[in-house]
Amino acid sequence: MKTVKIALLGFGTVAQGTFNLLQDNANLIENRSGVTIEISKIFVRNPEKYSHITLPSTAKYVTNIDDIVNDESIDIVVELMGGTTFAKDCVESALKHGKSVVTANKDLLAVAGPYLFDLAYKNKVDLRFEASVLGGIPIIRTLYESLGGNHITELVGIMNGTTNFILSKMTEEGLSYGAVLKEAQDLGYAEADPTADVEGLDAARKLAILASISFNRRIFFEDVTVEGITKIDTEDISYGKEFGYNIKLIGIAKETSKGLSLNVYPAFVPLTHPLASVRGSYNAIYIKGNGIDDAMFYGRGAGSLPTGSSVVSDIMEVAKNIAFESTGRFKPFYFDQKNIYAPGKIQSSYYIRLAVDNKTGVLAKIATKLAEQKISVLSIVQRNKDPETAVLAIVTSKCPHSYILNLIDSFNSLRSVKEVSSVIRIMEA
């Protein structure tokens, strides 16, 4: 039985989950793959930090990346450090030295994925990245292989567990954003600096990767229009429930005759849609294709063992390819033109919350401004906040985003409108 030697770059949460699965399930992995996978080297900055972990006799810590890249006995480099500078240099060097690479680095792939895929093909090695998106959910290989015969028209998903935990808590317990964010940080769901999660950046990187595969375009992070959850208020969540919606941060990529749209934003999801019931730190992705119609994938989007599980699956696949001398078969295919649809032209229904003067005739003025923008009202709720102020919660018909921006300007020009408090998109059922 062939032995394939691997090296781990980094030894943090995901790397240790990968390490544990390779050790604990070694016999199972060997029987299923027909290959013995041996951990040879682990690159770390400070080996003393990991002195409490017992390594197999075959493995050792190294502090110089060249000890891995220049080691001809190592077949697979498993990059689990994160980042886009040193990690990119390491991956690039490994590929050029004829080593296959497995990575969970969504940040790197979102900014340099197409280049690295081309480099892997040029050097007749594999680059696999199942763990880079949605943790333990096997979505990358599903898109490439199981759904490879489908024309994908839309994918929409909850792609960040931290934000879904926050919004679920706000919905179920009526807590403020700030209070739930602190709880998420205390539980380890959110970093001390949660910007990447709560501003939608993490989800945007994942969407760029999935869209590249689904639509055969060279999609990068900067192609995605992004909006975070920091402005979501419990009052909006309450009105959303009344209208029949749950609030979620969604990533959505959609291809129509007008082009490809790529967006991450908080949206009200109809309670009838499967994504509305995804709670806590779980992730889910909903896919439409001309063969499968609709399909949804659900599971843990992060964590040591769930993400490590995806890393191990990639290692097994690459190891089998090495054993059969069949690496480098995957040739990335991309259309020449991205044809990205302008965000302002994307049509959606909207929820709008206004604080207005509690006077006769105000609602008529609001209706006039809506009519001027050719926007009709599907639902409206009015609540008296105090003798001087009323709150209007409005659900509009579908219209381009540019119409909504013009409408907000029109509302702000009215003396009777004290504040346009919230504007939230509504996802189609």
Q: Same domain, yes or no, for 163 and 130?
A: no
Q: Same domain, yes or no, for 293 and 157?
A: yes
Average pLDDT over residues 72-89: 97
Q: Same domain, yes or no, for 276 and 318?
A: no
Catalytic site positions: 206
Distance CA 93, CA 99 (A): 9
**Within a domain: 366:** yes
Residues listed for the chain: 429
Distance CA 179, CA 236 (A): 16
HSE at residue 367, side-chain half, CA atoms within 13 A, is 8
Structure tokens, 103: 């990575």
- 343 Cβ neighbours under 8 A, 6+ residues apart: 225, 261, 263, 401
Domain containing 227 — which CATH number? 3.30.360.10
Which carries the bigger pLDDT value, residue 355 or residue 300? Answer: 355
Domain containing 384 — which CATH number? 3.30.70.260
- What pLDDT does 187 receive? 84
Q: Same domain, yes or no, for 308 and 258?
A: no
Q: Same domain, yes or no, for 359 and 286?
A: no
188: pLDDT confidence band, cut at 50, 70 and 90? confident
Question: Is the model's pLDDT at 196 over the cut of 80?
Answer: yes
Residue range of the domain that includes 167: 140-300
**Within a domain: 338:** no
β-partners of residue 248 are: 267
Sheet holding 127-128, edge to edge: 60-62, 36-43, 3-9, 76-79, 100-103, 127-128
**Within a domain: 30:** yes
Q: Same domain, yes or no, for 74 and 222?
A: no
**Within a domain: 239:** yes
Q: Same domain, yes or no, for 144 and 285?
A: yes
Q: What is the pLDDT of residues 46-67, one digit of tens each?
A: 999 999 999 999 999 999 999 9
Q: Closest by alpha carbon to 204, among 250, 141, 148?
A: 250
**Within a domain: 339:** no
**Within a domain: 308:** yes
Distance CA 98, CA 123 (A): 6
Query: CB of 9 within 8 A of CB of 90?
Result: yes
Secondary structure, 3-state, the chain: CCEEEEEEECCCHHHHHHHHHHHHCHHHHHHHHCCEEEEEEEECCCHHHHCCCCCCCCCEEECCCHHHHCCCCCCEEEECCCCCCHHHHHHHHHHHCCCEEEECCHHHHHHHHHHHHHHHHHCCCCEECHHHCCCCCCCHHHHHHHCCCCCEEEEEEECCHHHHHHHHHHHHHCCCHHHHHHHHHHHCCCCCCCHHHHCCHHHHHHHHHHHHHHHCCCCCHHHCEECCCCCCCHHHHHHHHHHCEEEEEEEEEEEECCEEEEEEEEEEEECCCHHHHCCCCEEEEEEEECCCEEEEEEEECCCHHHHHHHHHHHHHHHHHHHHCCCCCCCCCCCCCCCCECCHHHCEEEEEEEEEEECCCCHHHHHHHHHHHCCCCEEEEEEEECCCCEEEEEEEECCEEHHHHHHHHHHHHCCCCEEEEEEEEEECCC
Question: Is the model's pLDDT at 302 over the cut of 90?
Answer: no
Q: Same domain, yes or no, for 132 and 55?
A: yes
> What's the number of domains the chain is made of?
3
- 73 Cβ neighbours under 8 A, 6+ residues apart: 5, 40
Q: Same domain, yes or no, for 170 and 200?
A: yes
Domain containing 29 — which CATH number? 3.40.50.720
**Within a domain: 336:** no
**Within a domain: 38:** yes
Q: Which amino acid is at 295?
A: A
Q: What is the pLDDT of residues 306-353, one digit of tens each?
A: 999 999 999 999 999 999 999 998 887 788 888 898 887 889 999 999
Structure tokens, 261: 């749209």
- What pLDDT does 344 receive? 78
Average pLDDT over the chain reads 95
Q: What is the pTM of this model?
A: 0.92
Q: Same domain, yes or no, for 267 and 181?
A: yes
Distance CA 163, CA 184 (A): 9
- What pLDDT does 334 receive? 83
Q: Same domain, yes or no, for 132 and 197?
A: no
Q: Same domain, yes or no, for 147 and 119?
A: no
